[in-house]
Amino acid sequence: MTYAKAQAYEQVPSVEDPRKVEAWGLMKSATGLEDACKNPDDKNALREALRLNQVLWTIIQTALLEEDCPLQKELKDNILMLSILVDRTTFRCLGDLDREKVPFLINLNRQLAMGLLESAENNEQAPSIGPGPAPAPTGGPTNFDV
């Protein structure tokens, strides 16, 4: 899976494969963080992108802790450990708005998204992070439209 293929997800994918929806959210958040880092004078853009990424990771954490989460315990535990690292990095970034720390979050989101897309592309039966199909997106912009 190349980064160019992952960029193809500019609109919310069909909800038939929740892995694609999860990958879309991670890619949109990574793009928002990257865009916010391009203008060092706009601290509000960085703050907003960091908060949206935090919301996304809170959703991931919540899904992992649900009883019906289909992931194996070891994989859930590993992603939860990553989420703790994301929390700590995000709070540090929000505290001092240091753009030097943000590429870690961008790269992590992209790597996870590409893994989800690759498994979906290969029609692997690997489960998504959340339980069952994702809800259909409603009309209008989402919080991840940056």
pTM for the model: 0.75
- The tens digit of pLDDT for each residue in 117-141 reads 887 777 655 556 654 444 433 333 3
d(CA 53, CA 28): 9
Cβ partners under 8 Å of residue 64, min gap 6? 71, 76, 79, 80, 83, 129
Q: What is the pLDDT of residue 47?
A: 97
| Domains and their CATH numbers in the chain | 18-121 (1.20.120)
CB 86 within 8 A of CB 108: yes
